[in-house]
Amino acid sequence: MNPENTRLSWVTSANGHPDFPLQNLPHGIFSPAGETPRGGVAIGDYIFDVGAACRAGLFNDTAQYAAEQAAGSTLNAFFALDATERRALREALLALLDESSPHRERMQALGDSLLCPMAACHLHLPAKVGDYTDFYVGIHHATNVGKLFRPDNPLLPNYKYVPIGYHGRASTIDVSGAPVIRPKGQTLPPGQAEPTFGPSKRLDYELELGIWIGQGNARGEAISIGNARKHIAGLCLLNDWSARDIQAWEYQPLGPFLSKSFATTVSPWVVTAEALEPFRCAQPARPTGDPKPLPYLLDPTDQETGALNVELEVLLRTTAMREHNLPAQRVALSSTLNMYWTLAQLVTHHTVNGCSLQPGDLFGSGTLSGEHPDSYGSLLETTVGGKQPLMLPNGETRTFLEDGDEVILRARCHREGYASIGFGECSGIIQPAH
């Protein structure tokens, strides 16, 4: 066993922590009450203030430079670093926070100025999002949704050749905990010839992975599949809230618009590509008869190690549950192994036409449903388009989300012989339409 997998931290709450042990060290933007937002690293129940560590002279050389980029009010400058520079900071943080760190007493003496209790801090959107693209790589979700609209032909022919995606609205991306206001729009009620206007009645969640882009590319110069992994700074959870009734009326011929652009929620912590390395695995084999990806999307190393094994969970807590102090109930358990395309393939395909990516751009994976109803990542699938209500343990039912409902996404990586790491929560409560 690699000694790093059993390392402990002098920040004792990190040891055995379900999300943030020493082996994780995700980056984010935080602010204690009344203070300005700045960069930090999650360790157990605390946030390590990267800027304070810089001022205390705890870093050297490349790590110092990388820490300065990670200490600002957004992580864009940190994302823009070369992967070797980001790794240098990670190695320095591992050494500083290790239980045998020679700087332990000095850091403990700095107290809350270096380690801030997470519960006393506000968490912010990690980066300024210049552009947002939502993909559709969950093949079971694509098949399930396709069956609702095209029972005899659920997957269109291009799906297995092209990583399908669309450009979303970057201005309405918000961090976990921000309220989600029920959108208004046009819908076409069943049996009517003309649309009506009002609040969505079929509001839904989507369980997705968020991909933060690191270094970008020059316009006109595609990122090759062999180099694509270097351009991914880290991952988060992403809920692409969807108004299904608005979507059904507007999506042809150009796809989603107002049904998606009203809100997207991401988790506040960016789990770095380096922390996820132990959980890489082979891309699941395509079913017999499926076409091979075209050469620009096919790389042997990416096929052997380009997938990630991350457990994904959806929980729901209604107003009645909160009033009776009942916990959130799990409604789905899925995995990133349900991705038909790898993360590297998404980056390469996005740039193959010469499109330029920028540090802080965000990708959504698309809904990552599994094969069975208890692994479906949206209510549209779980309730078969609203025909089969979801039964909750307290006797309530749901076809789609009601005002006051809280949706919580979680993600964890497990592997025998390795410390498990988590993403933290991605949550939002539905507020009535304005």
For residues 231 and 302, what is the distance between their CA atoms, to the nearest angstrom?
14
Q: What are 430's strand-pairing partners?
A: 180
141 carries an active-site annotation: yes
Cross-strand pairs, 68 = none
Chain Cα centroid distance, residue 14: 22
Among residues 17, 140, 141, 231, the one annotated as catalytic is: 141
* Closest by Cα among 399, 70, 118, 367 to 241: 367
First vs last C-alpha separation in the chain: 56
Radius of gyration for the chain, computed over Cα atoms and rounded to the nearest angstrom: 22
Look-up: residue for tokens 């208004």?
184
Catalytic residues: 141
